[in-house]
């Protein structure tokens, strides 16, 4: 077992792409760290650098207490689940899983035992003798998983290992991986796009954007206290609603005004978390509101905790909950930063248009029994203590 440390690590591809920029991240011995970030932000590259599959353009990579920059992958003693699986096509599923053990000269019967056990866990027992090409996509992914979990390495590197599994299996696998990691105490770096995995599996979550580390913290901390707009917008699904707000001081009570209509009270709890807000009175800030903190207002809801008569534009039934989209006159946030995070010129253009028109859609999560219909005008409440505030230019939280 060993810690993994990125010490000012850069990756430049021959064509000049900088996939990882000055990454500083320490994964402690036995820790389980989740790596998240938009597609193409350098997660796989970072993992591959740990594994020794990409040269390190600059900086130091440390595993245990060895600088491993020049060590070959085999010498690093890590197990990896490749995003592309990279199964050995000429070997049966069993041989694929046992290959690393065979290389480590583990006795045959022990190999068999460990492979069978892993196959059990992964539900691959009946496919042990098949070649990868006769497997379904998810089965292949499980084989890739199996190749890692039969081992007992210094570190696990897993690159979206569950992305092609069905929900049920994924739940099971999550539990298995967590249990395994717990039992072996193996340092683990885990890439995922699944918010649930990100929030539940790891000790800490590291958020990358365009090769740059944004924030590393425990999942809940990340969720509750995002360091900047990007993290705020990235963590959580559906994403946090972000809008331009004007800060007012009404009789010593700080309020934010979104667009033309609403003026919401910022309560003390929120002010405690964002003390920087006080100095912004009269100015504009970025306001973040998570969908699940909206609720269907009723008579008892104070006026300064709700946006009255919102026009419902879309209702998505998710079974256990409902996503209600409604219109606001709040201007969306447009920073260069956002622009990059959106990574999609057209969406950006639309946002700009919306900004000009001074209005955007908010998404709220409501109880199914509270669900309005499209076209309804509803009063939408918001929990005053749950607001987030960021500098509109730098995107940094107003702490």
Partner 1 sequence: MADTQIAPEPGTRAGAGPGGPRAAKRKGLSERALARVFVAPSVLLMALVALFPVIWAIVISLFLYTRRQQTGFGGLENYTDALTSGRFWDSVWFTFVFTVSSVTFEFLIGLGFALLMNQAFRGRGVTRAAILVPWVIPTVIAAQMWFFMFNVTPGFINNLLGLGNFNWLGQPGWPIFAVVFADVWKTAPFVALLLLAGLQTIPGDVYESARVDDAGMFQRFWFITMPLLKPAILVALLFRTVDALRVYDLPAVMTQGAFGTESLAILVREFVVRTPNPGFGAALSTLTFILVLGVGMIFVILLGRDLVIGTEGEE
Partner 2 sequence: MSDTAPAPVEEVTRRGQARKNRRQGGVVEQRSTLQVWGKSALLGVILLWCLFPFFWLIMTSLKIGDRALNSPDLFQGPFGLQNYEAVFGQNFHLNLRNSFVVAGATTIICILVGSLTAYAIARLPLKRKILLLSGVLAVSLFPPVALVPPLYELWRNLGLLNTWEGLYIPYTAFTLPLTIFILMTFYASIPKDLEEAARVDGATPFQAFWRVILPLAAPGVFAAAIIIFVLSWNEFLLANTFAPRNPEIAQTVPVAIAAFTGAVPFQRPIGTITAACVIVTIPMIIIALIFQKRIVAGLTAGSVKG
Ligand X SMILES: Nc1ncnc2c1ncn2[C@@H]1O[C@H](COP(=O)(O)OP(=O)(O)OP(=O)(O)O)[C@@H](O)[C@H]1O
Which residues of the shown chain bind partner 1 in the complex (CB under 8 A)? 1-2, 5, 14, 29, 51-53, 55, 57, 60, 62-75, 77-80, 82, 84, 86-91, 99-100, 102-104, 147, 152, 154, 184
**Is residue 28 near its own copies by the rule CB under 8 A?**
no
**List 8, 74, 137, 275, residue binding Mg ion (CB under 5 A):** 137
> What's the angle, vertex CA 134, arms to CA 133 and CA 138, rounded to 5?
85
In the bound state with partner 1, the residue whose beta carbon lies nearer, of 27 and 363, is 27
Q: Which of 123, 210, 214, 215 is nearest to 166 (CA)?
A: 123
CA dihedral 268, 272, 273, 274 (to 10 degrees): 90
CB of 92 to Mg ion, least distance (A): 20
Alpha-carbon distance 350 to 356, whole Å?
A: 10
CB of 13 to ligand X, least distance (A): 3
**Is residue 243 near partner 2 by the rule CB under 8 A?**
no
Residues in the chain: 399
In the bound state with partner 1, the residue whose beta carbon lies nearer, of 80 and 247, is 80
Strand 66-67 and strand 377-382: the pairing is unpaired
379 to each of 42, 298, 303, 353, how far by Cα in Å? Answer: 42, 7, 10, 26
**Is residue 103 near partner 2 by the rule CB under 8 A?**
yes
Token pair of 42 as six digits: 């350098």
**Is residue 30 near ligand X by the rule CB under 6 A?**
no
CB of 165 to ligand X, least distance (A): 7
Q: Which of 136, 144, 134 is nearest to 96 (CA)?
A: 144
User: Between residue 121 and residue 140, which ones bind partner 2 under the rule CB under 8 A?
Assistant: 131-135, 137, 140
In the bound state with its own copies, the residue whose beta carbon lies nearer, of 164 and 311, is 164
Q: Please say whether the beta carbons of 135 and 93 come within 8 A.
A: yes
Q: Binding string to its own copies for residues 241 to 280, with x set by CB under 8 A, is what?
A: ----------------------------------------
**Is residue 52 near partner 2 by the rule CB under 8 A?**
yes
- Which of its own copies, partner 2, partner 1, none has residue 132 at its interface (CB below 5 to 8 Å by kind)? partner 2
CB of 185 to partner 1, least distance (A): 9
CB of 167 to ligand X, least distance (A): 11
Where does this chain touch partner 2 (CB under 8 A) — which range of 87-95, 232-240, 338-346, 377-385?
A: 87-95
Residues in Cβ contact with 325 at an 8 Å cutoff, skipping those fewer than 6 apart: 312, 313, 314, 315, 316, 361, 362, 363, 364
In the bound state with partner 1, the residue whose beta carbon lies nearer, of 104 and 250, is 104
Identify the burial level of 72 via C-beta atoms within 10 angstroms of its C-beta, where 0-12 means exposed, 13-18 middle and 19 or more buried.
exposed
Residues in Cβ contact with 113 at an 8 Å cutoff, skipping those fewer than 6 apart: none
SS3 377: strand
Q: Please say whether the beta carbons of 366 and 302 come within 8 A.
A: no
**Is residue 236 near ligand X by the rule CB under 6 A?**
no
Which residues of this protein are in contact with ligand X, per CB under 6 A?
A: 13, 15, 17, 19, 37, 39-45, 83, 134-139, 164
Residues in the site for partner 2, rule: CB under 8 A?
14, 48, 51-55, 69-74, 77-80, 82-90, 99-100, 103-104, 131-135, 137, 140-141, 147, 151
């Amino acid at each position: 077992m060993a810690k993994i440390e990125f010490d000012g690590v850069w990756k430049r591809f021959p064509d000049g792409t900088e996939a990882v920029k000055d990454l500083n991240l320490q994964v402690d011995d036995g820790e389980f760290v989740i790596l998240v970030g938009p597609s193409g932000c350098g997660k796989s590259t970072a993992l591959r650098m740990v594994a020794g599959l990409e040269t390190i353009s600059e900086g130091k990579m440390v595993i245990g207490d060895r600088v491993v920059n020049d060590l070959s992958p085999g010498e690093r003693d890590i197990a990896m689940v490749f995003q592309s699986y990279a199964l050995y096509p000429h070997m049966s599923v069993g041989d694929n899983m046992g290959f690393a053990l065979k290389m480590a000269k583990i006795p045959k019967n022990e190999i068999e035992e460990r492979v069978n056990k892993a196959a059990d866990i992964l539900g691959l027992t009946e496919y042990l003798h098949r070649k990868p090409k006769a497997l379904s996509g998810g089965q292949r992914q499980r084989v890739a998983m199996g190749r890692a979990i039969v081992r007992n390495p210094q570190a696990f590197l897993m690159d979206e290992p569950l992305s092609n599994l069905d929900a049920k299996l994924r739940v099971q696998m999550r539990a298995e991986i967590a249990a395994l990691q717990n039992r072996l105490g193996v340092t683990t770096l885990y890439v995922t796009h699944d918010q649930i995995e990100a929030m539940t599996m790891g000790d800490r979550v590291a958020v990358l954007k365009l090769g740059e580390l944004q924030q590393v913290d425990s999942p809940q901390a990340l969720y509750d206290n995002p360091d900047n707009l990007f993290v705020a917008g990235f963590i959580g699904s559906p994403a946090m609603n972000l809008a331009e707000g004007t800060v007012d001081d009404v009789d010593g009570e700080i309020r934010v005004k979104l667009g033309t209509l609403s003026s919401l009270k910022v309560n003390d709890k929120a002010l405690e978390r964002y003390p920087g807000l006080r100095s912004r009175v009269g100015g504009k800030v970025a306001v973040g509101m998570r969908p699940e903190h909206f609720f269907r207002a009723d008579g008892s809801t104070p006026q300064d905790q709700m946006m009255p008569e919102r026009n419902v534009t879309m209702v998505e039934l998710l079974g256990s909950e409902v996503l209600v989209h409604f219109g606001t006159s709040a201007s969306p946030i447009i920073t260069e930063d956002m622009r990059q995070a959106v990574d999609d010129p057209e969406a950006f253009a639309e946002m700009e248009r919306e900004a000009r028109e001074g209005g955007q859609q908010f998404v709220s999560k409501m109880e199914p029994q509270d669900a309005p219909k499209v076209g309804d005008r509803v009063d939408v409440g918001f929990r005053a203590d749950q607001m987030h505030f960021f500098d509109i230019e730098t995107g940094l939280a107003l702490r």
